Amino acid sequence: MATVTQAPPVAPAPETKPPRKPRGRGRWTPYWLLLPGLLWLLVFFALPVIYQASTSVQTGSLEEGYEVTWHFAAYWDALSEYWPQFVRSVLYAASATVLCLLLGYPLAYLIAFRAGRWRNLIMVLVIAPFFTSFLIRTLAWKTILADGGPVVDALNTLHVLDVTAWLGWTAGDRVLATPLAVVCGLTYNFLPFMILPLYTSLERIDPRLHEAANDLYARPSTTFRRVTFPLSMPGVVSGTLLTFIPASGDYINSDLLGSTDTRMVGNVIQSQFLRILDYPTAAALSFILMAAILAVVTLYIRKSGTEDLV
């Protein structure tokens, strides 16, 4: 006679507690964490910008005091009088940016793919100039580019100064107090701002992509043009912006390495604020420069196809 086996009793399912609703205090935690940064931006950026906007539409003098009269003609007067300095600033900054890209990309590529165990040492050497004052580094270039120095003698031997003099960048037999000296100073001082974003972007590229290109019999130039450079475009865009924006408003290099013929808009703003004491004109020039840089940067980012960086 067959025996009937009884199934073991099924254990009751554990009771599931309903999820607890987040407390009201936890909901506000991200906003409390953002509060210090927002206060910093408000005190040290938004309020100064508002104050400068108010200053740019004032009239008066330092002795009689300034009063807000909504004098918007100050913008047109400043632009019509100092437009050569604006053009010169954009030209010098763009030249320095292109030179930084041409010099920085090979070095960043070397650090990312070829440096090996020397990578950290090269990165330290790239960052090392930041441990020295910006002013001291610029003054050092006065010694490097001094008349009769080895750099000027080498350029004269190679007849480089003859070509640059024909282009209007040097005086023919000297480099100091010329546009070339200003661009060299800008290039040197802002070169690390180009190298670091480029290295970060190149270092993220998967090496297997290069191996795949080699397996498909792509030449090194084709691999660079079709794989490496397109993938490094975020670094290129970031580096050019980090170089062009501060270089266009710089006045130290033009003041120490240039002359009155190489004055940039930063020199004009500094002079209007601290020497001539024409605060409305200086504030108007600052806003025009800020608006011009914002327009150029926005157009550049849209044309480069990296709107996610905005």
Cα–Cα distance, 101 to 105 (Å, whole number): 6
Cα–Cα distance, 135 to 266 (Å, whole number): 15
Residue 201 covered by a domain: yes
Residues of the domain holding 167: 92-209+235-309
**Ramachandran category for residue 181: left, alpha or beta (phi over 0 → left; psi -120 to 50 → alpha):** alpha
The total domain count for the chain is 1
Transcribe 140-187 into DSSP letters. Answer: HHHHHT-TTSHHHHHHHHTTHHHHHHHHTSS-SS--TTSHHHHHHHHH
Residue 87 covered by a domain: no
The pTM for the full model equals 0.84
CATH (domain of 183): 1.10.3720.10
- How long, in residues, is the chain? 310
Instruction: Please report, as a single letter, which amino acid is at residue 182.
Output: V
Q: How high is the mean pLDDT of the chain?
A: 87
> What pLDDT is stored for residue 250 in this prediction?
93
Per-residue model confidence as pLDDT tens digits over 244-280:
999 999 999 999 999 889 999 999 999 999 898 899 9
| Helix (H/G/I), strand (E/B), else coil: 63 | coil
Cβ-Cβ contacts under 8 Å for 288 (sequence gap 6 or more): 75, 78, 79, 86
Residue 27 covered by a domain: no
Tell me the average pLDDT across 87-106. 95
> What pLDDT is stored for residue 16 in this prediction?
61
> What pLDDT is stored for residue 95 in this prediction?
95
Tell which wins on pLDDT, 29 or 91: 91
Which residues, in sequence order, are bridge partners of residue 68?
Answer: 58
Residue 282 covered by a domain: yes
Cα–Cα distance, 137 to 139 (Å, whole number): 5
Residue 16 covered by a domain: no
> What pLDDT is stored for residue 310 in this prediction?
47
Tell which wins on pLDDT, 166 or 45: 45
Of 194, 187, 201, residue with least CA distance to 233: 201
